[in-house]
Amino acid sequence: MTPARLTRAFCVAVSLSIPFFAAPARAADESGAGNVISGDGEAFSWIILDELKPNLEHKYHRIIKLAGREAMLGAGCGKGIKKARENRPGHETFGFICCPLTKEEIDKEGLTVHPLAQEALMILVNKTNPVDDIPIEKVRAIFRGEIRNWKEVGGEDRPIVVVLRPHCPDRPGHWKTIVPTLEQFRQDRLDVKSEAEVVQRVSDFREGIGNIGATFIFSPDEKVKVVKVSGLAPTAENLKSGKYPFTQDLSIVTHGEISGDLASIIKDVRTSQEFRQVANKYQLVPRN
Amino acid sequence: MLFPRTYRFRLVAYIAVLLAFLLAVLAFSYHDSRALILQQAENNISRVAQQIEGQLEYEARDLHARVKMIRDNVPLTEYLFIASSLDTDAVAVRELYKRQFGWLPADRVVLLMKNGRAMLGAEHADVIRALRAHHAPQKRLEQQFYFYGKNGLELVSVAPVNYRSQYLGVVAITAVVGDKWMNATRQLSNGHLIMAKDGRIILTTLGNKWMGRAFAPASNAVRADDEEYLVRQIQLAGADASLPTLWFALSRAELTQRINRQRNQMLALAATGGLGILLIGFLVLRNFSRPLGRLVTVIKEVSEGRFPDFQETENRDEIGYLSNQFASMVRRLRDKQEEINKVHKQLEQLATTDALTGLYNRHYLYELFPKLYSEAQRQGKTLTVILSDLDKFKQINDDYGHQAGDQALVHFSRILKDCSRISDFVFRTGGEEFLILVSGDIQGGLTLAEKIRATLEATPFRYDDSPIPMTASFGVAQTETEDETKDSRSVLYSVSSRADRMLYAAKRAGRNRVVSGDAGLIRASRA
């Protein structure tokens, strides 16, 4: 066999073997970590994205893994930012936050905030509490500790137990729409680490009052109810009109350069019809 | 000899000794264990009582660990702080406790605030009273104590609850030392428990008939009806004198029953062991002693010169191999013996007979005569000697050759044997000389000699189909009375000499005749 024929045979063999090596590599890529986009952070993340996920995964042929359900037990904006910072080629991540970040923090961390929606903070009381509506200033007075008995807001002669989840104390928004600083909050209160604990404490104490985001999903046996604030329910309409005062901003946050798939997914989340249906379901006000 | 020195006897003796030893050991151990059990039971009661005290201490530590677990629960302390400082409804505390510690084993739980309010367990007024009596809030100490409440004797474990270094109150949980506990402990201790108060039994695992009975142990024992129990008090740490006392009890009847059970076990063991030894003994006798006995019998017979028919066995063990080898050896020995006997007989024949004629030789005459003479003397008989010599035998040799002479001798020998009685002995004593030893007096000898002479004369010897006439001369003599003083060899010499003289006389008288002499008288049968 001449050298020319040997070279030709080698080329044919290589070209024939390419499909056998390439196909498994692609299959591995599709099922491996490189194909996964992970998201973590505030509680609302899984509630919104969990409903959008099937369509997004189908459209982009990517696996979206969300740790949102666990966030109900305590993960928050810090966890969302941490997750976003893990983003790198082959390991695509994004986070969820419920606070508008400061410009300093955005610049310092190299973050990009993609606003999603405005969410109402619901005021919760125990189901046995006869109070259904509390004026705005009285809500604030209760949280400040100026009002300490339910009879002062038309309820029974019972002391008021304030439950607070004092998350993201250095960022604006959220509970700060009720009372601007922690120092101004009533000191003899029950502090908790998750929205689920807020609900639990208000369920336990007949005298309890607390606040949680509108995307929280109640279980049937929880003994809490949402009260109106100055006659206003925490609806999208009242949020949009600016009448309902207690709100927080929900956003997706990313770090550095993001892949085309992730950018498209975020864009779809923000603008898709499905997202608007979810927002409508939880009385959210989309930012786009 | 008192005992037979046999292997079988020794084996039986060993088995008997082994059996006796087994029985002795069992009897000794039964006797020893009975005393030991009784003694140990006495010691055991104190030991078990101490064990139960140890168990109570362990349960107390466990109870205290549980109360500290409640005390250290952060949400609960927060709830308590809020509920006590704001004076809210206690339902929140109850809900949280149920959620967090609903699984925790405790008979009763009380959360008593420093202001005296019971956030949990308000219905347990007796426990709260006991807490107020025993616990000093200002000391804020963890503690444990027993008290007698509506549920009976209870151990209470108390821990102070603080929130941010602020003393809120105490949490207390209790464990009842009651029926359930006593029954569980009874199972472990293999005895019974009695709780007594003011000299009466208020709780016991002994049964209802003991309830309410007076309890006054004398010498660490109590008795009722036919039952007697050994008892020891179980000390309750931190219990004051007003509380009930707890006792561990062990039934004497149960103890006896246990000893009897042990005795029965030992008897069963002895019976099984004894049967086992007997079986082994039987098998040993059957498999070793019997074939060995058979072997010994055969060896004895062999040593006595007999070679019995010793069949080989089909057993392929060591003794079977030995038996078969021995049987083979006996068989070979028997064959050798038969061969030796045959050779011996041949040698004997060669030593006592004449090779040509087959008649006895002179050597045998010397050997036989003393026996016959002695026998004749015992019977008061005499022996007669007939000496015979062929007439002119040299002439036959000269005329026909020595071969013819030999055949003539054979011919005469045959006539001698044919004419003799079975009791007569015929000897060839020289070339053509013969001697016949007749048991009886001379008359018989004369008759026999004449018969031989006549037969020879009438029966010529045939050589090369030619008849050759032959005659012989005979001298006959008998043993005499005076011979009795002589030894047998001298007698033979004497009688032979006389017969020889008679033979010489017969030759001189013309041959072919019988001559005998009695007391010097010479008589011829043919003259």
Q: Are residues A80 and A157 in the same domain?
A: no
B292 inside 8 A of chain A by CB: no
CB within 8 Å: B82 and A161:
yes
Nearest C-alpha in A relative to B86: A159
SS3 letters for chain A?
Answer: CCHHHHHHHHHHHHHHHHHHHHHHHHHHHHHCHHHEEEEEECCHHHHHHHHHHHHHHHHHCCEEEECHHHHCCCCCHHHHHHHHHCCECCEEEEEEECCCCCHHHHHHHCEEEEEEEEEEEEEEEECCCCCCEECHHHHHHHHHCCCCEHHHHCCCCCECEEEECCCCCCCCCHHHHCCCCCCCCCCCCEECCCHHHHHHHHHHCCCEEEEEECCCCCCCCCCEEEEEECCECCCHHHHHCCCCCCEEEEEEEEECCCCHHHHHHHHHHHHCHHHHHHHHHCCCEECC
CB within 8 Å: B86 and A161:
yes
> Which of B79, B86, B120, B164 is the best mutation test for A, with the most CBs of A within 10 A?
B86
* Residue A239 included in any domain: yes
Q: Are residues A37 and A89 in the same domain?
A: yes
Q: For position A221, which CATH number holds?
A: 3.40.190.10
Q: Are residues A150 and A172 in the same domain?
A: yes
B88 inside 8 A of chain A by CB: yes
- CA-based nearest distance B99→chain A, Å: 11
- Dihedral angle sign, alpha carbons of residues B165, B170, B171, B177: positive
- CA-based nearest distance B131→chain A, Å: 27
A254 inside 8 A of chain B by CB: no
Nearest C-alpha in A relative to B85: A188
Q: Contact, A134 vs A123, CB < 8 A?
A: yes
* Residue A56 included in any domain: yes
- CA-based nearest distance B217→chain A, Å: 55
The edge-to-edge listing of strands for the beta sheet with B118-120 is B118-120, B108-113, B166-176, B152-163, B143-149
Q: Are residues A221 and A243 in the same domain?
A: yes
Partners of B81 on chain A (C-beta within 8 Å) are 188
Per-residue confidence (pLDDT) for residue B2, from 0 to 100: 64
A208 inside 8 A of chain B by CB: yes
Q: Contact, B36 vs B28, CB < 8 A?
A: no
How large a percentage of chain B has pLDDT more than 70? 96
* Residue A222 included in any domain: yes
Per-residue confidence (pLDDT) for residue B481, from 0 to 100: 74
Across the interface, of A158, A189, A203, the residue whose CB is closest to B88 is: A158
Per-residue confidence (pLDDT) for residue A29, from 0 to 100: 42
Residues of chain A with pLDDT under 70: 1-34, 43, 45, 68-75
Helix (H, G, I), strand (E, B) or coil at B375: helix
CB within 8 Å: B88 and A207:
yes
Q: What are residue B195's phi and psi, to 5 degrees?
A: -115, 125
CB within 8 Å: A205 and B85:
no
CB within 8 Å: B85 and A188:
yes
Across the interface, of B79, B81, B91, the residue whose CB is closest to A206 is: B91
Partners of A128 on chain B (C-beta within 8 Å) are none
Partners of B91 on chain A (C-beta within 8 Å) are 204, 206
Q: Are residues A101 and A71 in the same domain?
A: yes
* Residue A11 included in any domain: no
- CA-based nearest distance A201→chain B, Å: 8
Structural domain span for residue A126 = 120-247
Which amino acid, residue A281? K
Query: What whole-number distance in Å separates Cα of residue B474 and Cα of residue B505?
Result: 9
Q: Are residues A200 and A170 in the same domain?
A: yes
Nearest C-alpha in B relative to A148: B86
- CA-based nearest distance A109→chain B, Å: 35
* Residue A75 included in any domain: yes
First-residue to last-residue Cα distance in chain B: 78
* Residue A71 included in any domain: yes
pLDDT tens profile B229-240: 889 999 998 788
Partners of B117 on chain A (C-beta within 8 Å) are none
Q: Contact, B171 vs B158, CB < 8 A?
A: yes
A190 inside 8 A of chain B by CB: yes
Q: Are residues A84 and A148 in the same domain?
A: no
Q: Are residues A101 and A146 in the same domain?
A: no
Q: Are residues A107 and A136 in the same domain?
A: no
Nearest C-alpha in B relative to A205: B92
B97 inside 8 A of chain A by CB: no
Q: Are residues A126 and A231 in the same domain?
A: yes
A86 inside 8 A of chain B by CB: no
Q: How many distinct structural domains can be found in chain A?
A: 2
Per-residue confidence (pLDDT) for residue B154, from 0 to 100: 94
* Residue A8 included in any domain: no
| CA atoms within a 13 Å half-sphere pointing along the CA-CB vector of B294 | 19
**Per-residue confidence in pLDDT tens, chain B, 527 aa:** 567 777 778 878 888 888 888 888 877 877 777 677 767 777 778 888 999 999 999 999 999 999 999 999 999 999 999 999 999 999 999 999 999 999 998 999 999 999 999 999 999 999 999 998 887 766 778 999 999 999 999 999 999 999 988 999 999 999 999 999 999 988 877 789 999 999 999 999 988 888 998 998 887 888 877 788 889 999 998 788 889 999 999 887 877 787 778 778 878 888 888 888 888 888 887 777 777 888 888 888 888 888 888 788 887 777 788 888 888 888 888 888 889 989 999 888 888 899 899 999 999 999 999 999 999 988 888 999 999 999 999 999 999 999 999 999 999 999 999 999 999 999 999 889 999 999 998 999 999 999 999 999 999 989 888 899 999 999 999 998 776 777 888 899 999 999 999 999 999 989 999 998 754 445 555 54
B406 inside 8 A of chain A by CB: no
Across the interface, of B85, B87, B92, the residue whose CB is closest to A204 is: B92
The edge-to-edge listing of strands for the beta sheet with B192-197 is B200-204, B192-197, B245-251, B227-234, B221-224
Across the interface, of A158, A159, A204, the residue whose CB is closest to B95 is: A204
Partners of B79 on chain A (C-beta within 8 Å) are 190, 204
Per-residue confidence (pLDDT) for residue B507, from 0 to 100: 92
Q: Are residues A169 and A58 in the same domain?
A: no
CB within 8 Å: A159 and B95:
no
Nearest C-alpha in A relative to B79: A190
pLDDT tens profile B441-492: 899 999 999 999 999 999 998 988 889 999 999 999 999 877 677 788 889 9
- CA-based nearest distance A158→chain B, Å: 7
Q: Are residues A161 and A203 in the same domain?
A: yes
CB within 8 Å: A188 and B89:
no
* Residue A28 included in any domain: yes
Which of these, B472, B473, B464, B356, lies nearest to B404 by C-alpha position? B464
Bridge pairing between strands A190-191 and A161-164: parallel
- CA-based nearest distance A244→chain B, Å: 30
Per-residue confidence (pLDDT) for residue B522, from 0 to 100: 52
Partners of A199 on chain B (C-beta within 8 Å) are none
Per-residue confidence (pLDDT) for residue A8, from 0 to 100: 52
